[in-house]
Amino acid sequence: MLEKLFSLGYSKTFAERYYELWGERALSIAEAMEKPLPRCFRVNTLRIEIPRLTKLLNKKGFQFRRVPWAREGFCLTREPFSITSTPEYLSGLLYIQEASSMYPPVALDPKPGEVVADMAAAPGGKTSYLAQLMENEGIIYAFDVGEDRLKETRLNLSRLGVTNTILFHKSSLYIDELGVEFDKILLDAPCTGSGTIHKNPERKANRTMDDIKFCQGLQMQLLEKGLSVLKNGGILVYSTCSLEPEENEFVIQWVLDNFDVELLPLRYGEPALTKPFGIELSEEIKKARRFYPDKHGTSGFFVAKLRKL
C-alpha cells in the first residue's frame, strides 16, 4: 500500500500520514487525484438567466450535468471545442470554476444589501459568485496580497459585470483598520493545497510539515481577525483546498475552544474527521464537510460554517 503511494510520487512523510488517516482508501484518493477533473462552469445570472444560457450552449453541442450544491453550476460532459473560446464565455455570461469551490459562497448564502468580506479573493471566482448571489446589491470588501492576481481579479469582475465590490491590495490581517462590521465573511484560506495534486503534482513531494505549520498559523491569525470584525449573529465560512487535518479540523477545534461561536451544519460533502491521527476532537466537528476526489469528483476540499454568538 505505502509502496503504491511512493510510486505515485508521494514523500514518505505524506504517504504514511495519508495511510494513517484513511487506511486503504488513501490509495483510491491518491489515484483519483492523478486524473484531470471535469471542466465546470457557473452561469453568471448577473448577465443571463440559467435556461437561456444552457440552451445557447446546447445548440453548440456542449453537454453538461448539474453541480448538486450550486444552482448555477454545471460540469461539462461533452466539450466539442474549448468553452473559453465561445462568445458566451468572452462576454461574461459564464465563469470557469471548480465544482468544490462553488460551495463556500453557497454555504455563506449572502443576501442583497449585506456587508460582506472576502478575505482572500484572487482570482475572483468566489468573489464574483458572492456578488451574483447578492444581485450586485450591498457591498463586498475583497482582499488579496498578490498584485498580478488582483489584476486578474479586476478583469474577471469587470467581464462578469460585478459592481458592488471594492478590491484591496492588502492582507486581510489589516481588515480591522476599515472600522467596518460585517454581516458575513468568506475566508478561503491560504493553504498547502494538498487537495489540488491533479493540477499541482509537485506538491506530492515538495511539501513539508513546516509548510503545514506555517499555513496553520496564518489560518488562525486570519480567523481571529475575521471573527473580530464579524457582527454578533454573523456568519463566517472557512474553506481550504487542503487534505491536512492541521489546516482543517484542528483549526476549527481551536476556534470552538477559544471564541464564542457555534458550528452550523452543512448539507453536502462527507462529515469532517473527529479522530484524525487518533486525536479526539469535538463531535461538533462533523458539521464541517470534506470533499474527496474519489467520491465527489472534485479536488480535496474542506468547508466549515461558523456563527458568532
What is the Cα Rg of the chain in Å? 19
Q: Rounded to whole angstroms, how far apart are CA atoms 161 and 126?
A: 14
Mean pLDDT of 171-182: 96
Average pLDDT, the chain: 95
Q: DSSP assignment of 204-269, as one string?
A: HHH--HHHHHHHHHHHHHHHHHHHHTEEEEEEEEEEES---GGGTHHHHHHHHHHSSEEEEP-SSS
Q: Which residues are annotated as a binding site for S-adenosyl-L-methionine?
A: 120-126, 144, 188
Q: Rounded to whole angstroms, how far apart are CA atoms 220 and 129?
A: 25
How are beta strands 182-188 and 230-240 bridged, if at all?
parallel
Within a domain: 304:
yes
* Domain boundaries, position 170: 100-308
**Predicted pLDDT of residue 6:** 79
Q: Rounded to whole angstroms, how far apart are CA atoms 18 and 208?
A: 14
Mean pLDDT of 192-199: 91
| Count of residues in the chain | 309
Q: Which residues are annotated as a binding site?
A: 120-126, 144, 188
User: Is the model's pLDDT at 291 over the cut of 80?
Assistant: yes
Within a domain: 12:
no
Q: Would you place residue 199 in the very low, low, confident or very high pLDDT band (cuts 50, 70, 90)?
A: confident
**Predicted pLDDT of residue 195:** 92
Does 241 participate in catalysis according to the annotation? Answer: yes
User: Is the model's pLDDT at 105 over the cut of 90?
Assistant: yes
Q: What is the CATH number for 263?
A: 3.40.50.150
Within a domain: 92:
no
Do 117 and 143 meet the contact criterion of CB atoms below 8 Å apart? yes
Q: Would you place residue 218 in the very low, low, confident or very high pLDDT band (cuts 50, 70, 90)?
A: very high
Within a domain: 84:
no
- H or E element that contains 229: none
Q: Which of 99-113, 145-159, 175-189 has the lowest mean pLDDT?
A: 145-159
**Predicted pLDDT of residue 151:** 92
Q: Rounded to whole angstroms, how far apart are CA atoms 10 and 3?
A: 10
Among 112, 216, 221, which residue's Cα sits nearest to residue 176? Answer: 221
Half-sphere exposure of 282 (CA within 13 A, CB side): 15
Within a domain: 296:
yes
User: Is the model's pLDDT at 12 over the cut of 90?
Assistant: no
User: Is the model's pLDDT at 1 over the cut of 80?
Assistant: no
Mean pLDDT of 250-261: 98
Within a domain: 5:
no
Q: Annotated catalytic residue: which of 40, 191, 215, 241?
A: 241
Among 226, 228, 195, 191, which residue's Cα sits nearest to residue 212? Answer: 191
Within a domain: 63:
no
Contacts of 210 (CB under 8 A, 6+ apart): none
Name the grid cell of 33.
487525484
pLDDT tens digit string along 33-62?
Answer: 999 899 999 999 999 999 999 999 999 999
**Predicted pLDDT of residue 274:** 96
- H or E element that contains 67: strand 63-67
User: Is the model's pLDDT at 245 over the cut of 80?
Assistant: yes
pLDDT tens digit string along 64-92?
Answer: 999 999 999 999 999 999 999 999 999 99
pLDDT tens digit string along 136-172?
Answer: 999 999 999 988 889 999 999 999 999 999 999 999 9
Within a domain: 185:
yes
Do 95 and 156 meet the contact criterion of CB atoms below 8 Å apart? yes
Q: Rounded to whole angstroms, how far apart are CA atoms 191 and 107?
A: 20
User: Is the model's pLDDT at 116 over the cut of 90?
Assistant: yes
Report which DSSP code applies to 39. P
- Our count of domains for the chain comes to 1
Name the grid cell of 144.
488579496
